[in-house]
Amino acid sequence: MSEFHSGFVSFVGRPNAGKSTLTNALVGEKVAITSSRPQTTRHAVRGLVHRPDGQLILVDTPGLHRPRTLLGERLNDLVRSTWSEVDIVGMCFPSDQRIGPGDRYLIGELAALRSKPMFAIATKTDLVSPERLAQHLQSIATAGQEAGVEWTEIVPVSAVKGEQVELLAELLVRALPEGPAFYPEGQLTDEPEETLVAEIIREAALEGVHDELPHSLAVVVEEMVPREGRSENKPLLDVRVNVYVERDSQKGIIIGKKGARLHEIGVTSRGQIERLLGTPVYLDLHVKVAKDWQRDPKQLRKLGF
């Protein structure tokens, strides 16, 4: 019998590089938050990939960026500590963008982890021509050489089209240490359901928002309890959720005219939560202002950071 490999993989890359989408494509089910707005991923959501030859545990980290607030600093600490704990780091380079100073900064940070397998992943290949992709792969190789990082593999993928995703999984598994599976087959994530529910709502709330809101929004699931007195074949789960913003003006944005936006957020996320949990849900959404919570250590703790 051939050996079984298992271990932890973390994708890094500039905001919007496609890390969450790639995590979802590898796992084959939606677990990590994705949105067209940069820097929405906060929690180290783990996705699990079960294969006959091994098990990949994906740790989806927020983008490393210059910290401007206490939250920013904590996120950067979280990213660095995640990197040092994982077996493989996969750096994502979106193919539709040139390698810039932000990428070089990240590669420089990677160079410090010398002994780890380091994957370079050219993401979003469906957006560019083969010529541009060839150029991009060459730039990735050069940027690695310049920083003293030796890429274990350079793999082009399109998570949206599902191209080369399987190959990437295979190469990652091969580069992991030998070891038994950490999680039982069938499990997709070890995040508590509350975290996934909160992230679904956060994503719905951020859809179509074009300002500083992403950083100001925190979602906390207060309670998930089965409605009493329901028969077994007609269950209903009561989900009570607080959406925190930093200012009154932001509260207005979330709620919308006559509550229209909040209603839409509720409808969109309820459907997804029902699919995730496999039960009908009554979703009770409240929007609250927690003034400047990003700068307040007490509030940060309360909101789970």
Residue 72 engages ligand GTP in binding (rule: CB under 6 A): no
Cα–Cα distance, 199 to 220 (Å, whole number): 9
Q: Which alpha helices (DSSP H) does the chain contain, by range?
A: 19-27, 70-85, 101-111, 130-147, 165-175, 193-206, 213-216, 248-255, 260-277, 297-302
Residue 39 lies near ligand GTP (rule: CB under 6 A): yes
| Distances from the Cα of 43 to the Cα of 82, 154, 199, 235, 296, angstroms | 11, 27, 9, 30, 19
Please tell me whether 62 is known to bind a ligand: yes
**Among candidate residues 151, 273, 281, 157, the one with its CA nearest the CA of residue 219:** 273
- Report the chain's C-alpha Rg in angstroms: 20
Is residue 159 a contact residue for ligand GTP (CB under 6 A)?
Answer: yes
Which among 221, 204, 203 is positioned nearest to 303, based on CA atoms?
221
**Positions in 282-301 near ligand GTP (CB under 6 A):** none
**113 vs 160, beta carbon nearer ligand GTP:** 160
Smallest gap from residue 96 Cβ to ligand GTP (A): 8
156 binds ligand GTP (CB under 6 A): no
Give me the 114-153 binding string for ligand GTP, x by CB under 6 A, dash otherwise: ---------xx-xx--------------------------
Using the rule CB under 6 A, is 18 a contact of ligand GTP?
yes
13 interacts with ligand GTP by CB under 6 A: yes
Query: How many H helices and E strands in the chain?
Result: 10, 9
Residue 17 near ligand GTP by CB under 6 A: yes
Which segment (28-36, 106-114, 202-210, 262-270) binds ligand GTP by CB under 6 A? 28-36
- Residue 130: count other Cβ atoms within 10 Å of its Cβ: 9
Q: Could you say whether residue 43 binds ligand GTP (CB under 6 A)? A: no
Least Cβ distance, residue 40 to ligand GTP (angstroms)? 5
DSSP state of 150: -
Stretch that binds ligand GTP, among 70-78, 137-145, 155-163, 231-239 (CB under 6 A): 155-163
Question: Residue for token digits 């490999």?
Answer: 5
**Where do we find the tokens 């070089």?**
104
Compute the half-sphere exposure of residue 31: CA atoms within 13 Å on the CB side of its CA.
26
Q: Which residue has the tokens 């493989």?
A: 88
Grouping H, G, I as helix, E, B as strand and the rest as coil, residue 187 is: coil
Q: How far is the CB of 48 from ligand GTP (least distance, A)?
A: 18
User: Least CB distance from residue 300 to ligand GTP, whole Å?
Assistant: 19
CB distance 10 to 64 below 8 Å: no
Pairwise CA distance, residues 72 & 165, whole Å: 31
| 36 is a contact residue toward ligand GTP (CB under 6 A) | yes
Q: Does residue 95 touch ligand GTP according to CB under 6 A? A: no
Minimum CB distance to ligand GTP, residue 305 (Å):
16
Which of residues 131 and 248 has its CB atom nearest to ligand GTP in the complex? 131
Binding site for ligand GTP (CB under 6 A): 13, 15-21, 34-36, 38-41, 63, 123-124, 126-127, 158-160
* Binding site residue list: 13-20, 60-64, 123-126
* Binding site residue list for GTP: 13-20, 60-64, 123-126
